[in-house]
A and B are shown apart, each in its own frame.
Chain A
Amino acid sequence: GEDVEQSLFLSVREGDSSVINCTYTDSSSTYLYWYKQEPGAGLQLLTYIFSNMDMKQDQRLTVLLNKKDKHLSLRIADTQTGDSAIYFCAESIVIGGSYIPTFGRGTSLIVHP
């Protein structure tokens, strides 16, 4: 199976909250990340959480981590049309002594009026 799994699509109405979920496999990952990819662009780090935290809030973004279940979620409050993008969950795995980001398939968030 895949190391990082997330649903492929999420559609929300503007102003509502969006919740994107992810499950991962490597419990030794020190940090877990959410990256955002806008059309025609590469990925950009949106937020991250340290593995010994349960929650992190950053303006409209809330990250929840359930380490026991290896479940990570990203909540976007008051979702705007500009939030439409692909969101990638990522963990770091160790390869040859280096920490390498490993990504899921990405969740396409579609925000409609």
Chain B
Amino acid sequence: ETGVTQTPRHLVMGMTNKKSLKCEQHLGHNAMYWYKQSAKKPLELMFVYSLEERVENNSVPSRFSPECPNSSHLFLHLHTLQPEDSALYLCASSQDGAGIGEAFFGQGTRLTVV
């Protein structure tokens, strides 16, 4: 149990569907992130929220839309995705400004776009 929970674990969606990924952390952290993990590519930082405000949007296409309603929850809303968006989407959290800056990860959502 890492303290960061992602749902669903697996998702298959068509290119015209709308779906959402959910992340929840029970660690009292004030920063949350979305990363995309594709084969043979660096872990790509997509979005960063610190104190519930977005501080980074790393040139991510608008078909990905994040939402952070409070410090414990982070969503990634998906619509009209492309097959190349198939990847493992990882959520992480950390306590910004304290400790060693360790990031705690969820187990990820394996997304397949068909």
Size bracket of the A interface:
20 to 34
- Please, how many angstroms separate the alpha-carbon atoms of A32 and B42 in the complex? 16
Distance in angstroms from A10 CB to nearest chain B CB is 15
> Are A42's CB and B92's CB within 8 A?
yes
* B42/A4 in contact, CB under 8 A: yes
Q: Is the CB of B108 within 8 A of A105?
A: no
A99-B97 Cα distance, complex, nearest whole Å: 8
Q: How far is the CB of B79 from the nearest CB of chain A, in Å? A: 25
Interface flags, A1-34, vs B, CB<8A=1, else 0: 0101000100000000000000000000011010
B105, CB-defined interface residue at 8 Å: yes
B103 proximal to A (CB < 8 A) = yes
**A100 B56 Cβ-Cβ under 8 A:** yes
Complex Cα distance, B41 from A88, in Å, reads: 12
The one of B2, B41, B101 that contacts A99, using a Cβ cutoff of 8 Å: B101
Question: Quick one: CB contact mask for A69-106 with B, threshold 8 Å, 1 for yes?
Answer: 00000000000000000001000100111111111111
12 contacts between A and B (CB under 8 A): A4-B42, A33-B102, A35-B103, A42-B106, A42-B108, A43-B43, A43-B90, A95-B48, A96-B56, A99-B97, A100-B48, A104-B42
